[in-house]
Chain A
């Protein structure tokens, strides 16, 4: 059996959990199933997570990934956690805009901006 290719990397910064998608293209059912399994393993056991998805490596995705993000967001909110998306390239951002998912997800320019939103200056 060939080893599974890592689909995400996870980093903990301040009070945030940063999930970086490592693939340039996220398309096939297998990619999406592997992503869902990896991300759910982080979300399901935890509550009050500040989850940041970093799309900096992603150059192409299909509507199946949008569906995955919706499923993940439902689980995130069930667990009283927060979900932020960032580093989305302009072509992919256009997909979010056209589908009006910019109204569903909190989208930030980069990881720093997402973290800063969690820790507003007093």
Chain B
């Protein structure tokens, strides 16, 4: 059954990689309850994993005493997720394209690119420590 009532949640989570399941679990369950496609769920799962690990590693510098704030809103048409870390922020425009030149052979640097590839809207605050991501529900006719 599709839930017509938008779900809005805020949580503050420990800045450790394994805590990403505390975000993915409830968000993916809500997407299923709202009849999002498997492709949409895969995209949102990937974006949450990448954004959360970026926040833990690059934002909070693997400091387990720091926190990550998550806000999400899910309604019948879209899912919107914001993540804020305690770090000093970064300039997303300065992140090199991982597909170009020698970057293609580097072990890292693909997280942000994947988020931007799989989500419909990706924005950062001016400080560079909050990312806001939106995925619109795939129409039934677009599902494979």
Which secondary structure dominates chain A's binding surface? Answer: helix
Within 8 A of B (CB), among A79-106: 91, 95, 98-101, 103-104
Q: Is A29 an interface residue (CB 8 A)?
A: yes
Q: Is A67 an interface residue (CB 8 A)?
A: yes
Q: Is A42 an interface residue (CB 8 A)?
A: no
Which of A28, A60, A64, A103 touches B104 (beta carbons < 8 Å)?
A: A103
| Stretch of B3-11, B107-115, B121-129 with 4 or more beta carbons under 8 angstroms from chain A | B107-115
What residue in chain A is nearest B98 (Cβ atoms)?
A99
Question: What 0/1 pattern do residues 25 to 47 of A give for CB contact below 8 A with B?
Answer: 00111100000000000000000
| Stretch of B44-52, B66-74, B78-86, B87-95 with 4 or more beta carbons under 8 angstroms from chain A | B44-52
Q: How many B residues, CB 8 Å from partner?
A: 22
Question: What 0/1 pattern do residues 1 to 33 of B give for CB contact below 8 A with A?
Answer: 000000000000000011010000000000000
Which of A60, A67, A71, A74 touches B45 (beta carbons < 8 Å)?
A: A60
When chains A and B are docked, how far (Å) is the Cα of A63 from the Cα of B28?
Answer: 19
Binding site for B on A (CB under 8 A): 27-30, 60, 62-64, 66-68, 70-71, 74, 91, 95, 98-101, 103-104
> 27 A–B contact pairs at CB < 8 A?
A27-B20, A28-B17, A29-B17, A60-B42, A60-B45, A62-B46, A62-B49, A62-B53, A62-B111, A63-B108, A63-B110, A63-B111, A63-B114, A64-B53, A66-B110, A70-B106, A70-B107, A71-B107, A74-B105, A91-B42, A95-B46, A100-B99, A100-B104, A101-B104, A103-B104, A104-B104, A104-B105
